[in-house]
Amino acid sequence: MKVAEVLFDAADANAIEEVNLAYENVKEVDGLDVSKEGTEAWEAAMKRYDERIDRVETRITARLRDQLGTAKNANEMFRIFSRFNALFVRPHIRGAIREYQTQLIQRVKDDIESLHDKFKVQYPQSQACKMSHVRDLPPVSGSIIWAKQIDRQLTAYMKRVEDVLGKGWENHVEGQKLKQDGDSFRMKLNTQEIFDDWARKVQQRNLGVSGRIFTIESTRVRGRTGNVLKLKRSD
């Protein structure tokens, strides 16, 4: 068990020692001895192992539920889950935090749904498009940046699913549905088609330059004559 990363104070050093002793109890027994005495020794060692591990899991469960119960917001709960999720393979620990898992998974679902609603607005009608005009970003560049930002946010939300459910979350009942929805959403965020369409239009345009690039025009302002250098533009 990976307890060292989630137990911090001096008192909990005993928990780490319990795990080490539990392992030593089993390691000292010859697992290949199938005689009556060997089988009895193995069963006794496993019993001692389970007793020690149960004590450790009880302590971890109490610590975990205490931290989750005093968390100020969902973000803090996600951080707590990310520290402990390596231990979620243990049924005792997993069962103790199921109610919190359900709550946070629903939060992820709601966040992804809000992100999807943001995408449905489409770039030309988005606030990001208005900001791109202010920053003088070309429409194609702005559209790609906008989609990539949504994609990064989606990745962050999917990481939260792993934080809550642990490794192998894709095989979890809730995880399977979220994985399918996430993959489907991500396909819509693929910007390759936008880039290819832009490249095709650019290649079809006549970008050749003929004649002079600059022109000099005479101007008269407040009775004074001057020259203005202008760039010849081809629309």
Nearest of 79, 138, 95, 115 to residue 188 by alpha carbon:
115
Tokens 């109610």 sit on residue? 99
Q: What is the pLDDT along the chain (235 residues), one digit of tens a residue?
A: 554 444 445 556 677 787 888 888 788 877 777 788 888 888 888 888 888 888 888 888 888 899 999 999 999 999 999 888 888 888 888 888 889 999 999 999 999 999 999 999 988 889 888 888 888 888 999 999 999 999 999 999 999 999 998 888 888 888 899 999 999 999 999 999 999 999 998 888 776 667 777 888 888 877 788 888 887 665 5
Q: For the whole model, what pTM was predicted?
A: 0.72
DSSP per-residue codes, 163-226: HHH-TTGGGSHHHHHHHHHHHHHHHHT--HHHHHHHHHHHHHS-----S-SEEEEEEEETTEEE
